[in-house]
Structure 1
Amino acid sequence: METHEYNAGEITIIWKPKVCIHAAVCVKMLPKVYNPKERPWLKPENATAEELKNQINRCPSGALSFKLNS
């Protein structure tokens, strides 16, 4: 399955586009990070790791996940 990874220092965001249902929870919660009109559409440097984890845990499709970097 296709995945995209976005490193944000202490956290890496993993996005699976084929799983995404475009509910836009990410865009509504963190518009400074997620902007589907821009490329790259995901700018994790615009939020803290805690903000990112909080939002990713609310993704209804599971298209967004994360791993902690050591």
Structure 2
Amino acid sequence: MEIRKYQNGEIAILWKREACIHAGHCVRALPQVYDPKARPWIRLENATTRELIDQVAGCPSGALTIQIDDNQNEL
């Protein structure tokens, strides 16, 4: 399974394309971050790390997951 990684220095969002059910939760929750027509389609710089973590927690398919940078003590 292909996994794409998008990073902001604190976290990475991992996207598993094959697992995505295209429910649109991410686009509705943070349209400034997720734009399926843009490349790259995920732009982490347009939201806070907390907003990103909270949004990914609501991904209904689990296609989006968070990887926390080991150098970060608290988020």
Say yes or no: TM over 0.5.
yes
The amino acid that maps onto 1:55 is Q
Q: Which residue of 1 aligns with 2:57?
A: 57
2:20 aligned residue: 20
Aligned residues: 70
Ranges in structure 1 where 5+ consecutive residues have no aligned partner = none
In structure 1, what is the Cα distance between the partners aligned to 2:10 and 2:32?
18
Q: CA deviation at 1:9?
A: 1.4
3-state DSSP of counterpart to 2:19: coil
Alignment of 1:1-70 (within 5 A): 1-69=1-69, 70=71
Of structures 1 and 2, the larger Rg is shown by 2
Q: Return the TM-score normalized by structure 1.
A: 0.97
Task: Please report the RMSD computed on the Cα atoms of aligned residues, expressed in angstroms.
Answer: 0.5
Q: Supply the AA of the counterpart residue of 1:20.
A: C
Distance 1:40 1:6 in 2: 9
Q: Distance in 2 between matches of 1:31 and 1:9?
A: 21
Report the residue type matching 2:29 in the other structure.
M
